[in-house]
Amino acid sequence: MLGAIVGDVVGSAYEYRTVLDGELPLLTPSSSYTDETVLTVAVADCLLHHRSYAEALRTWALANPDRSYSTRFVKWIENPGRTMPTSYGNGAAGRVSPVGWAFDTLGETLAEARISAESTHNHPDGIAGAQAVAAAIFLARTGSPKDGIRDYLERTFGYDLQRSLIDCTGGWFEAAELSVPEAVICFLVSTDVRSSFQNAVNLRGDADTQAAIAGSIAEAFYHGVPADLAEPCLAMLPPDFRSILDEFRGRFHIGQDADGV
């Protein structure tokens, strides 16, 4: 969950930038949290307090406007009677990270990831994207090696995860079928949490969502997020966000290592 939030903040300064040269600073004066963070907190709220996903997503988004929500999503949250058009985008995958921490089995994780997606992304590709990210987090936190994570996602979801970053299309696509595999690759070729973020923003395109996905898996695999990245991002969050984050980490026993938060 923290990896997704930090990834969102890191990517916010680089979303759809066309020219990125050299080693980018991961945090800049313009860095801020976006819809990925708001909706990740909403998902955590659901898991903690047994709320419906539709209700929580609407409540948190309405309380935190102007955070780069899609036009269709804004119309949905502002009209409780409106049905969200079927979406195959990467939004459900960008917010799903709490699900990857909250269950004891992979089967439970996959089932809840589906439920978490369906209110806004009731399309096979949107659901698969959320399930793939939640599964990767579950596998990473329970000790699977990168090859095991790669093999499972390829077999289960049909993703091509054998590519290098050079072979990726650049993260320009918000469709989950295209976006999620590339975000996973950003994690798979990383050497630590920091490099997973760097890989994601270097893809350009939908950088905040790409970095949120890559960072959420990297946090689980590398056992935390470096404090010099985590602490400034946490300081940006309103108190109610921090409260949910602290409660979630306590409930599901998400610890920290010597180098991270």
Domain boundaries, the chain: 2-16+29-251
- Output the six-digit token pair for 208: 């905040």
Contact partners, residue 41, CB within 8 Å, separation at least 6: 60, 241, 244, 245
In this structure, are residues 137 and 64 in contact, taking their beta carbons and an 8 Å threshold? no
Instruction: Label residue 220 exposed, middle or buried (CB < 10 Å: 0-12, 13-18, 19+).
Output: buried
CB 186 within 8 A of CB 3: no
CB 87 within 8 A of CB 240: no
Q: Point out which residues pair with 175 in neighbouring strands.
A: 89
> Cα(214)–Cα(224) distance, rounded to whole angstroms?
13
Residue linked to tokens 């929500």: 69
What's the pLDDT at 260? 61
The CATH code of domain 2-16+29-251 reads: 1.10.4080.10
Q: What pTM was computed for the model? A: 0.94
Reported as a single tens digit per residue, the pLDDT across 44-94 is: 999 999 999 999 999 999 999 988 888 788 888 888 776 676 788 899 999
Q: For the chain, how many residues are written? A: 261
The pLDDT score that the predictor gives to residue 256 is 53
Residue stretches of the chain with pLDDT short of 70: 18-22, 82-83, 85, 170-172, 255-261
